[in-house]
Amino acid sequence: MSSGTPPPIVGGLFRVDSDGLTLLGGRSQSSGLTHFPLQPVCPYTGADDVEPIDLPRTGELWQCTEVRAAPPGYSGPVPYGLGVVELDDGLRVVGRVKADSPAELAGGTPMTVVAETVTDAHGNDCTVWAFAEVAP
Amino acid sequence: MTADVAVAGIGLHPFGRFEGTSAHAMGATALHDAMNDASIARGDFQAAFCATAYGGVASGHRVLGALGLTGVPIVDVEAGCASGGAALSLAAGAIAAGQYDTVLVVGIEKMGSGMIRSSFFEPWMEAAGLSAGPAYFALRARRLMDEHGLGAGHLAELVVKNRSAGVHNPDAMFNTVVTADEVLTSKMVCDPLRLLMLCAPNEGAAAVVLRRADLAGPGTPRLLAAELRSHLPGSVLDESTPLAGIDDTGITPPSTLAAQDAWESAGVGPDDLDLVECQDTDAARELLVWHELGLCDRGEQARILAEGTFGPGGRLPVNQSGGLLSKGEPLGASGLGQVVELALQLRGEGGHRQVKGARVGLAHTIGRGANASVTILGTAVAAG
C-alpha cells in the first residue's frame, strides 16, 4: 500500500499499490466470464474453475445517478455519484462516481478506477474504489 | 395445481403511520377480520404463515398469540417485498398437497420514513454509500428510459395515474391527486427519481384465509396461481443488487419467470386479466413490470399512458387500489394487501373503485433478494 492511503474499507476486494487501485475479481476458465468480487465458483455457471484476476482499470460509463440524501449508515458528503461502469473485459461494476455533476455524465464516457476516501462507522478514514473520468 | 384453493376470507389494517400500534397488533386486527370474513375460529385451521421482513423473532406467534390462536405450526416468511406472495405460495402448496385444509396467511410491517435500512447491505457498504436503495432504482429507471424511449414526463404520468386511483381507497396512506407538474417539481432524490415518484415505506397489515375450495363458500374467489421465483445470476441492475454483472438484456428477470409459471398454473394469459396490482416501488418500476409481465411490448408504455389503457376505467386497470405510490409499502403486508384488493374486486365489493365485471386478477411483487411473486385469483366461475 502506498503511504498516505487509508486502509481498505473491506479486505479482499481491491489492492492499492504504486499503480493505484486495482479491483480483484475472478475468471472462470470454462465460461471465460469474469466476476467481482472474487467468488469460489463462477457465479453465472457454477463452474468450479475460477482463477483470481486483476480486473481492467478502464472502461466506459453505462448508467449513473446522483445520490442527494445520505442513506442510513453513511456519514460522507452528499450529493455523490453512483453508477455502473462497463470495464474493458465487459464486466459491469457498481461504484461511486467522482464527478462534479455525475447525473450529467453521458453513457460511453471513458472511465478509470480510482481510490476514494470515505469514513467508516467508527469515524476512521478508509479507502473504497470509485470511478472517475479519464483525464482528456 | 392450486385450482382447488379458495380465498375464503380477507382482512386489512390500513397502510399508513400508526404511532403506538405495533406491527403485531396490526396483524392481529387484519387476521381477526379475515377469520370473521371466512366464518372460521380456533380449531378450524391447521397452520399459519406470517410474512415480514422487519417484524423480528416469532412475529407470527405474536400475532396469533394476541388472538389466543397459538398451538398450530406458525412459520415466519421473509422474501423482501415478495414476502406476502411467498407466504401465500407456501400455504397454497400445503393445501394443494393435502397437508392442511385451512391455513392463515398474515403479513405485517412497521417501518420508519425515508430510505430503508436493510441488513442485506453490510456495514462497509453503508459507509461507502453503496446501500442507497433509490440510487439502484434510479440506475434501473435510466436504463428503462434509454431502452423503452421514455422520459421523466412519463414517470410523472404513471404517478398521476396511481394517485388518481388511490383517491378511492380509504385504506391508502395518500388519498389526494397530484399533477404531473407537482411530481416533476418535487425534491430530486436520485436523478431521474423525485420524491413523489417513490413509494413510502410505512406500516400496515393484511391477512388472507386459504381453504380447500369445497370447504369455502360458493362465491369465494379461487387462487389460480401463487408463484415465487428468484433471480437468475448475471444482471447488474436486478433487485439482487450485486456489485457486478455481465448482461441486462439477455437474462430473464424473476418477475417474468414467476409470470410464466403463473400462466401455466392458472391456465390463463395476459389477455384474460381484468385487473392487475403490481410493484410500483418507484414509477419506473411499474413501467418496467408491464413489460416483464408481458402486459405490453418494449416501448409501448408511452402510448399506453397516453391512451389510459392501464388507468382507472381503462381496458386493464393496473393498481386500481392506488398502488404502493398511494398506499405506501409495508414490506411484509404489501403483497397480501394486493391479494385482498383482488378478492374485493372479484367479489364485487370494490366500492367506488370497483372494476366492472372483474373475473380474473393478477398480483405481483418484486423485491430484495431478488424475489418475485405472481398470484392470480379468479372468480369461481372463471376458475371453471
Q: Which amino acid is at A77?
A: P
pLDDT one-digit tens code per residue, B210-240:
999 999 988 899 999 999 999 999 999 988 9
Inter-chain touch A94–B189, beta carbons under 8 Å: no
Mean pLDDT on B37-43: 97
Chain B residues within an 8 Å CB radius of A119: 127
Whether residue B109 has pLDDT greater than 60: yes
Q: Which residues of A touch B124 (CB under 8 A)?
A: 9-10, 120, 126
**Torsions phi, psi of B81, nearest 5?**
-65, -20
Using a CB cutoff of 8 Å and minimum separation of 24, what contacts does A100-105 make?
A101/A66, A102/A64, A102/A65, A102/A66, A103/A64, A103/A65, A103/A66, A103/B191, A105/A61, A105/A64, A105/A81, A105/A133
**Model pLDDT, residue B47:** 98
pLDDT at B104: 98
* pTM confidence score: 0.96
**Contact call for A91 and B246, based on CB within 8 A:** yes
Asked if B236 contacts B244 with a C-beta cutoff of 8 angstroms, the reply is: yes
Q: Which residue would you say has higher pLDDT here, B46 or B113? A: B46
Q: Tens digit of pLDDT for each residue in B272-306?
A: 999 999 999 999 999 999 999 999 999 999 999 99
Residues A110-136: what's their mean pLDDT? 94
If we measure between CA atoms, which residue out of B129, B247, B234, B243 comes closest to residue B190? B129
Q: Is A107 exposed, middle or buried (0-12, 13-18, 19+ CB in 10 A)?
A: middle
Q: Do A64 and B117 touch (CB under 8 A)?
A: no
Question: What does the pLDDT look like over A40-81, one tens digit per residue?
Answer: 999 999 999 999 999 999 999 999 999 999 999 999 999 999
The verdict on a CB contact (< 8 Å) between B127 and A119 is yes
Residue B118 has pLDDT above 90, yes or no: no
Q: Which residue has the cell 383517491?
A: B167
Of B128, B133, B245, the CB nearest to A92: B245
Radius of gyration of chain B (CA): 19
How do residues B124-163 score in pLDDT, each as one tens digit?
A: 999 999 999 999 999 999 999 999 999 999 999 999 999 9
**pLDDT tier at A99, thresholds 50, 70, 90:** very high
Using a CB-CB cut-off of 8 Å, the residues of chain A touching B191 are 65-66, 103
Q: Is the pLDDT of residue A2 over 80?
A: no
Confidence of residue B316 (pLDDT cuts 50, 70, 90): very high
Banded pLDDT at B384 (limits 50, 70, 90): low
Instruction: Please give the average per-residue pLDDT across A16-39, as a whole number.
Output: 96
B48 — pLDDT class (breaks 50, 70, 90): very high
pLDDT confidence of residue A1? 46
- Asked if the Cβ–Cβ distance from B123 to A121 is below 8 Å, we say yes
Predicted complex ipTM? 0.95
Q: How confident is the model at residue B55 (pLDDT cuts 50, 70, 90)?
A: very high
